[in-house]
Amino acid sequence: MLFRSNIVKVYDHGVDGNCYFYAMEFLSGKSLRGVLNERGKVSPYEAAEYAREAADALAAAHERGTIHRDIKPSNLMLSENGQVKVVDFGLAFEKSGMTLTGTGLAPGTPAYMSPEQIESSGGHLDERTDIYSLGVTLFELLSGERPFEGVSHYEVMRAILFQPAPELTEIDSSIPRELSDIVRHAMAKHPDERYQTMREFAQDLDRFVEGTQKI
């Protein structure tokens, strides 16, 4: 098991009949979805700090061979002391090819899925899919909007595959260009054009946070 302060502790997992289960630590706090529901969006500093903590945790998971595959605001918990915790590894994928869901379907939440996740139908994915999903999450934290919307899952997934993401600075001119560029890099359509590791993503976020006045 992977134990790290920014990753929810999973103590056990298994199968009981047709039911897959895992036992995790109890958390008290709210998800970043709850924060967005209450506030609409957060400041660039806050958004980058939340994403930095999540990226650092996911980098550790990736380095141990685990890909999350369902990063989104509701799976990033903000504890009572303000620490981000990555939760819900129910779709976690070991690089060996084993998934806890075992359904053979393309798992994930459509609005946050990477293009290759949409196209893979459960096939090979690497850590760059989590990089994309965290980029989408950071986009929403900054703007209060998801980059791709539609009246159906199909329309959302089609937009992810074929439409360019909106420019954050055009949605809100107060968003720093440097942070907008980080998001755009994380959300590149083709995996080879993104950050190649979550650690690289975390380092760019770290540089932004350390060089930004807290507001």
Residue 39 three-state SS: helix
- Active-site annotation holds for 70: yes
Q: Is the pLDDT of residue 187 over 60?
A: yes
Q: Which two tokens stand for residue 138?
A: 């950071």
Sketch out the chain's domains with CATH numbers.
29-208 (1.10.510.10)
- Residue 26 is predicted with a pLDDT of 63
Predicted confidence (pLDDT) per residue in 113-157, tens digit: 999 999 875 557 899 999 999 999 999 999 999 999 999 999 999
Q: Is the pLDDT of residue 89 over 70?
A: no
- Residue 105 is predicted with a pLDDT of 41
Q: Which two tokens stand for residue 105?
A: 């379907």
Regarding pTM above 0.95, the answer is no
- Residue 97 is predicted with a pLDDT of 43
The closest of 42, 193, 58 to 116, measured between CA atoms, is 193
56, 70, 88, 130: the active-site residue: 70
**Above pLDDT 90, what percent of the chain?**
62
